[in-house]
Amino acid sequence: MASRPDVLIIGGGPGGIASFIWAKRLGLEAVLLEKEAELGGQLRHIFNRIIDYPGLPAADGAELARHFVRHVQPWAEQIRCGVDVQAVDVATKQVIVRGEGRETYHPRFLILAMGAQNRRLGVPGEEAMLARGETYSAARDRFRFRGRPVAVVGGGDRALEGSLLLAEAGAEVLLIHRRRQFTARSEYVKPVFNHRRIRVLTEATVQRIVGEERLEGIVVRQHHPASPEGKEQFFPVDAVFVRIGMEPNSHLVRGQVATDRYGYVLVNSAMETTAADVFAVGDLCTRPLYSSISMATAQGMAAAKSIVSRLSESSAE
């Protein structure tokens, strides 16, 4: 595998895979790096049916990921999974990777496709809960919690849709939102408030997660104008579903390329960042309103074509 490819792509989600496919199709020497053991990125955490990706409806994200993996199989030697990118020097386009050993790549062009991850609450007890593996999907695990108390935190589509899935499967749901108004679509809001197995707490925040050997419950503070300090209350729950949005995995390049206030990498219509010969695609540079598989794959195409255009301009000079 070349250590000085034309293009190095960091991230194996839809955006990274599309960048790789288009780079290969356009005759570029491309290498794709993915930190997980398999390609797919966030696709492997989608447990609902996928009905909006043209031509490839799938039972879940894993099925769609398998389609993508089969597509890139002819170039498997240029794909490395299970590698940890430790450092990226945007100015020199030097990328240091640790897998079976320590390696350094010096590509001509760099495509950043590191995606995004679920935003965390950042409260005491959360890290311990995650370390115990107490993280769940409402779609996949909803029947596991039939007749049991669970908490869902958030006010958007994912939080309310998850609450409905869990409640319909028989769970007793406590939905906690820090504001009075919800940002979710109206098609979710009314059913949530009308559901007999969903209790809604607005203007409330989780203060800590309780439990040493296993999750025991959460401490919630409700805030009211008459009592700014709020009142804390303990709720026993068997699971906490944190659905408070996503945050981009831009830590490797933050301070080296321009980002917005939330950490999303800023790009132009050619998917170029503010650093020369460095591009970004997918959830790393796309705010949640427009985040989708279709958007990520289209951006991958745009980045690869932009690189070819840049090379053509250079050779013509």
The percentage of the chain sitting over the pLDDT mark of 90, rounded to a whole number, equals: 91
2 lies in some domain: no
User: What range does the domain containing 52 cover?
Assistant: 7-118+246-316
Domain shared by 233 and 130, yes or no: yes
Domain shared by 212 and 252, yes or no: no
253 lies in some domain: yes
Last residue of a domain, one of 215, 242, 269: 242
Domain shared by 134 and 238, yes or no: yes
225 pLDDT band, cuts 50/70/90, is low
Contact assessment for residue 9 and residue 28, using Cβ atoms and an 8 Å cutoff:
no
The CATH number given to whatever domain includes residue 75 is 3.50.50.60
**pLDDT tens digits for 116-134?**
999 999 999 999 999 999 9
- Does 314 have pLDDT greater than 80? no
231-260: burial string, b at 16+ Cβ within 10 Å, e else: eeeebebbbbbbbbbbbbbbebbeebbebe
**pLDDT tens digits for 141-198?**
999 999 999 999 999 999 999 999 999 999 999 999 999 999 999 999 999 999 999 9
Q: What is the pLDDT of residue 253?
A: 97
Within 8 A by CB and 6+ apart from 12, the residues are 32, 33, 34, 36, 38, 39, 40, 41, 79, 81, 113
φ/ψ region of 84 (left if φ > 0, alpha if ψ in -120 to 50, else beta) reads beta
